[in-house]
Chains A and B, each alone.
Chain A
Amino acid sequence: MAANPGQRREGASASRARLGDRYRAWRDHHSLSAADSLRRVLDNPASSILTWLVIGIAMALPAALGIALDNARAVSGSWDSPAQISLFLKADIDEQQAQDLRLTLADRGDVGSAQLVPRDAALAEFAELSGFADVVASLDDNPLPHLVLVEPASGVDPAVLREAFAALPEVDQAVLDMAWVQRLNNIMELSRRLVLALGGVLVLGVVLILGNTIRLAIESRREEIVIVKLVGGSNAFVRRPFLYTGLWYGVGGGLFAALLVLVALLFLDGPVSRLASLYQSGFELQGIGLIGSLQLILLGGLLGLAGAWLAVSRHLGAIEPR
């Protein structure tokens, strides 16, 4: 090794890299960290698969429930006009007048369909269904009024329509039969919120699981972190591989979640379509789809990053050269 003054100058000035080089090096270190982290994750297949499964299950549960809810909504949406208005006509209206009213109502734009249930037919039906045929037969007079069943046209507020019908001179009472629709809607809303809450809790769980996994990874590489910091590695430099580790765990977990949902749907598809055909329904189970799968994987990646951030910000700062 020769001691020449030229080398001396270079020694002083060349210890900093140029800006362009630094950008390229930054990019290189990202791809290096990503590849190195992936290698480390894959080098421990047993524990990695376990982590992926835990995350996958935690994510698949709310995802599957969400899909079930979507399907339930699709089924309930396919039932025609859930709301029905029952018009009980006044007792002095005869069947011809009732028939006329039905026709007038059926012609209205805000009415989907109108159906007349004549009082005699209603009584016969009641006698048959109630089992009080003898009692009914002993009646001198039919106590039932004529009934017109109206289904509002789609998009029409059934409550407004009921008001209008209640004002008709022929109508004694207009009853909106909506209790079961409201009940169903309430149940759906409740289920949706339960799924959301469950999803929130499980997402938090995933972040914490990943945070803990990354914490262990940090602990196992403590010495390396110290050395890197001693030779001038910035916090970002030290952080990077762990963030990628979190990303890979998250992405893998998302992938497992998508697979689990897919398998569950395949498992249910046969029985569901047999059941649908029994009800003469063309209903088909809606799957998770490519977009849904990608969303799950993306979400997994984001949760992985979040968990890694959590661990890194809490534990990396505490590791300083001593």
Chain B
Amino acid sequence: MIQFERVSKRYEEGHDALREISLEIARDDLVFLTGHSGAGKSTLLRLIMLMDRPTRGKVRIDGRDLATIGSRGIPAHRRNIGVVFQNHQLLFDRSVFDNVALPLVIAGYDQREIGRRVRAALDKVGLLARERALPITLSGGEQQRVGIARAVVGRPRILLADEPTGNLDPALSAEIMALFEAFNQVGVTVLIASHDLALISRLQHRIITLRDGQLVGGAA
């Protein structure tokens, strides 16, 4: 589903964020991406999201070389990928419902379908009762679950998460990880960047480790 072929990324200031990374993540897999901060986890996710382009090498998603996607094709590409951020990236002037509905509004679903899907997604993350609430009134864990609901509401085939449990206590973190596992079980390919080794090593999934932009484990 996700393939990296000898991918390097050098930023303009000369910093090598990724060096010769080759890896493959199979369809329906759940994979953790770990390493110190600055090891290249975020860069790897950014390449998949087309927020950046690799300096060398190829990234393929579902067999498609991302280099063939021009800037006009980026929005459509991103609609097929759900993303969860550490800082949630919610719109604080809109209700939980409107936040989760955003990808569907962008993709052009009609109102009824949007209502149905948003409630289904909120139900999955256990926030159906809070759909009218403003994000600011929610706890950190709840905000993160809104972010997850928004990431999955469009039923993407790939779900990326960048430090999704970064600000949460261990119990909440475990809850969030359980959610990702549940989505993985219905056929979503999940890639989670996390440095919470204690947590992710308890979960029985493949772990890819980066150090200074190089792959040191889990390439398989």
Binding site for B on A (CB under 8 A): 1, 3-4, 7-8, 10-12, 14-17, 21-22, 24-26, 28-29, 32, 223-224, 226-235, 237, 320-322
Would A228 and B186 count as touching, CB distance under 8 A? Answer: no
The answer to whether residues A231 and B102 also contact, given A1-B182, A11-B186, A15-B157 and a CB cut-off of 8 A, is: yes
Task: Give chain B nearest CB distance to A86 CB in angstroms.
Answer: 75
Complex interface: chain A residues within 8 A of B107 (CB): 15-17, 25, 232
User: Are B154 and A237 in contact, CB atoms less than 8 angstroms apart?
Assistant: no
**Contact indicator A232/B106 (Cβ below 8 Å):** yes
Residues of A within 8 A of B75 (CB): 229, 232-235, 237
10 A–B contact pairs at CB < 8 A?
A1-B182, A3-B185, A11-B155, A12-B155, A15-B154, A227-B102, A229-B78, A232-B78, A232-B103, A234-B75
Q: When A21-B109, A224-B91, A231-B78 are in contact, do A321 and B51 touch as well, CB less than 8 Å? A: yes
**CB-CB < 8 A to A17: which residues of B?**
107-109
B105 contacts A by Cβ under 8 Å? yes
Q: With A and B bound together, what is the CA distance between A322 and B52 in angstroms?
A: 9
CA distance A228 to B76 in the complex (A): 12
The answer to whether A1 and B155 touch across the interface, beta carbons within 8 angstroms, is no
Question: Lowest 6 A-B CB distances belong to which pairs?
Answer: A25-B108, A232-B79, A8-B187, A232-B78, A22-B108, A234-B75
A231 engages B51 (CB within 8 Å): no
| Contact (Cβ within 8 A) A21 B154 | no
A228-B182 Cα distance, complex, nearest whole Å: 26
Interface size counted on chain B using CB atoms at 8 A:
33
1/0 contact trace for B185-198 toward A, CB 8 Å?
11110000000000
Cβ contact within 8 Å between B80 and A15: yes
Instruction: State the CA gap A299–B147 with chains docked (Å).
Output: 43
**Nearest chain-A residue to B106 (Cβ)?**
A233
Q: Does B57 contact A (CB under 8 A)?
A: no
> Could you tell me if A1 and B157 are in contact, using CB atoms closer than 8 angstroms?
no
Interface string of B30-71 (1 = CB under 8 A from A): 000000000000000000010100000000000000000000
- 8 further contact pairs, Cβ within 8 A, besides A1-B182, A11-B188: A1-B186, A7-B187, A15-B79, A25-B108, A25-B109, A227-B89, A230-B49, A232-B103
Q: Which of B112-131 contact A (CB under 8 A)?
A: 113, 124
Q: Does any Cβ of A come within 8 Å of B140's Cβ?
A: no
B73-113: contact bitstring with A at CB < 8 Å (1 yes, 0 no)? 00111111001000001110000000000110111111101
List chain A residues, Cβ under 8 A from B124.
1
**Residues of chain B with a CB closer than 8 A to A16's CB:** 107
Partner of B105, one of A11, A24, A25: A25
- Which B residues lie within 8 Å of A26 (CB)? 108
Residue of A nearest to B78 (CB): A232
Partner of B186, one of A8, A24, A234: A8
Which residues of chain B come closer than 8 Å to A226, judged between CB atoms? 89
Of B78, B110, B154, B186, which is within 8 A of A25 by CB? B110
Least CB separation from A235: chain B residue: B75
- What CA separation (Å) do A21 and B154 show in the bound complex? 15
Provide the bound-state CA to CA distance between A237 and B187, in Å: 30
User: For the complex, what is the distance from the CA of A32 to the CA of B111, rounded to whole Å?
Assistant: 12
Contacts of A231 in B (CB 8 A): 78-79, 83, 102-103, 106, 150
- CB <8 Å contact, B155 and A10: yes
Give the distance to chain A from B78, nearest Cβ to Cβ, in Å.
Answer: 4
| Shortest CB distance B125–A (Å) | 10
- What residues of chain A lie closer than 8 Å to B185, measured between beta carbons? 1, 3
Contact of B83 among A10, A228, A230 (CB under 8 A): A230
Cβ–Cβ < 8 Å partners of B109 in chain A: 17, 21, 25
- The distance from the CB of A193 to the nearest CB of chain B, in whole angstroms, is 45
A84 to B49, CA, bound (A): 82
Question: Chain B nearest CB: distance from A305 CB in Å?
Answer: 23
Q: Which A-chain residue is minimally distant from B188 (CB atoms)?
A: A11
Complex Cα gap A11–B78 (Å): 16
* Alpha-carbon separation in the docked complex, A213 to B188 (Å): 43
Q: Which residues of B contact A224 (CB under 8 A)?
A: 91
Contacts of B79 in A (CB 8 A): 15, 231-232
Q: Given A227-B89, A227-B91, A231-B150, A12 and B108 touching (CB < 8 A)?
A: no
- The answer to whether B155 touches A15 (Cβ under 8 A) is yes
CB-defined contacts of B106 to chain A, threshold 8 Å: 228, 231-234, 237
Closest to B107 in A: A17
Smallest beta-carbon distance B101→chain A, Å: 11
Question: Looking across the interface, which residue of chain A has its beta carbon closest to that of B117?
Answer: A14
Contacts of B78 in A (CB 8 A): 229-232
The CA-CA distance from A232 to B50 in the complex, in Å, is 11
CB neighbours (8 Å) of A29 from chain B are 105, 108
- Taken together as a complex, chains A and B put the C-alpha atoms of A102 and B80 apart, in Å, by 95
